[in-house]
Amino acid sequence: MTNLAFASAHQLAQMIRDRTVSAVEVLEALLAQIAQHNSKLNAICTLDEDRARSRAKQADEALAGGETWGALHGVPITIKDIFETAGLRTTSGYSPLKNYIPQADATAVARLRSAGAVILGKTNLAELAGDFQSTNSLFPRVNNPWNLDYTAGGSSGGSAAAIAAGLSPLDIGNYIEGSVRQPAHFCGVYGLKPTDRRISTAGMIPEVPGMPYCLRQMMTVGCFARSLADLRLCFSLIAGADLRRPEVPPVPLDTPSGKALVQLRLAWADEWAEVPVATDIRAAMQSAAQALAQAGAQVERWRPPAFEMNHILSLYGKVAAYINLHAQPVDRYNLSRSAKQIYRTATQGDKELRKLGDFSQLLPELLNPSLKGYFEALTERDHFSAQLDAALEPWDAWLIPVAATPAFTHRPAWTAVEVNSKQYPHAVANGAYTMPFNLSGHPAVIIPIGQTQAGLPIGMQIVGKRWREMELLAIAQELDQVVGDFRLPPGY
């Protein structure tokens, strides 16, 4: 029989429908995997074992009676602990929410549940989704399945670690900087960042309950899986308009063009001069480009004109500062946490690289914000999105690294990261290759393409056109057949 802990979600769904395995059997296989491995990973922070067993039993009984709930009938999945789950603790790793029990599901959760998914538990994360490592004040830090001394990334480190280690076949995360793409890269799994506003963020808690809805730009919902087919399934289930978020447009899912690999025109970059990547990542990107070219794709080194990283990251920081300004309570703890982040980003790492991610430059504006400044930042963002739309038009996709570094060893929040013997500011090392596409709103898919000499995963970011996620996933599938390199971590 297939190893149920590492079967894909769509495979499990088919097996349950065909009655070759029961939903209860699948759940028990995952619970056994969790019992064996989660204590060292800390990927799952809240396990809903009893209710999951009850729901799996109901799924089997429904199927026996000829009733099918949907595409994920009886499939156990996990949910990042930033999404509200009815009757199940949702903390966002934030002490004041340690006993918070929502009354309703987040929209994305409700849609997965209505498709028949069994909610197995909640996955660990960075506190209020605010770091590139997954540490918080409530739960032990998340460790990387490939090496426990290394971070699984953030803010969705628990999600990526759970998928990589076979604790769950499917998870959802959220995005404002790179919170699905970077952990997917660090843990060697597949990840999707959709177009801005494609998926409703209703019921998500970077904004603490009771605070105004502030994160109206750059924030979206993404998916984790061990296959592109599962990303496609998850995305198709949770995308679309939502009465709880009127700004989510009723844009139908696109129809892929059906282009074969030999018909694809692919832009490519192994690094940007301002932010060089680790040697192993550059080598993996070069190998991928060479393999794709040999397989018949047209691959050209490319970077958009006027793609100025200093301006892009500065504008990203300005928009992020404005939309986060009133999203969380102004208390001593949060002020201290934010000040520490700004100080470390401004003072740690190479002097020239600090100029790219020095959020301390925003302090005057944060201390004296204006509505005019906010609208000016949004106007600049619109211009950048339109410019990138035009630049990407001749290409089917743009292939670039995910981060400057593979997974790194655990360290205090927002401290510098070494890349090629140089100290990089934390935000630059982790976000310089992802933040531009949160700023622009373009979708991106992560596929694993290899490993470092130390045995850590390397992912590749595939950037596509806005509102063309199904086309992007189809392109990623063509690429994955040539350069994809998903592997199970040793010992799992």
Q: Which positions are annotated as active-site residues?
A: 80, 155, 179
SS3 content of the chain, % helix, strand, coil (to 5): 40, 15, 45
Angle at 447 between CA 255 and CA 412, to 5 degrees: 130
| First-to-last C-alpha distance (Å) of the chain | 17
Helix (H), strand (E) at residue 120: strand 118-123
Nearest residue to 27 via CA among 204, 168, 147, 154: 168
Residue 373 tokens read as 């400044």
Nearest residue to 142 via CA among 127, 161, 129, 128: 161
Separation of alpha carbons 144 and 407, rounded Å: 8
At residue 398, φ and ψ (nearest 5 deg) are -120, 125
Are the C-beta atoms of 164 and 3 separated by less than 8 Å?
no
Nearest residue to 26 via CA among 88, 73, 81: 73
At what angle are helices 309-324 and 371-392 packed, to 10 degrees? 130
Separation of alpha carbons 435 and 468, rounded Å: 19
Separation of alpha carbons 45 and 31, rounded Å: 14
Q: Please give the radius of gyration of the chain, using alpha carbons only, rounded to the nearest integer.
A: 21
Are the C-beta atoms of 398 and 351 separated by less than 8 Å?
no
At what angle are helices 228-238 and 469-483 packed, to 10 degrees? 170
Are the C-beta atoms of 457 and 188 separated by less than 8 Å?
yes
Are the C-beta atoms of 448 and 456 separated by less than 8 Å?
no
Residue 486 tokens read as 């998903």
Separation of alpha carbons 246 and 268, rounded Å: 36
Are the C-beta atoms of 323 and 369 separated by less than 8 Å?
no
At residue 200, φ and ψ (nearest 5 deg) are -65, 135
Separation of alpha carbons 217 and 214, rounded Å: 8
Helix (H), strand (E) at residue 37: helix 23-41
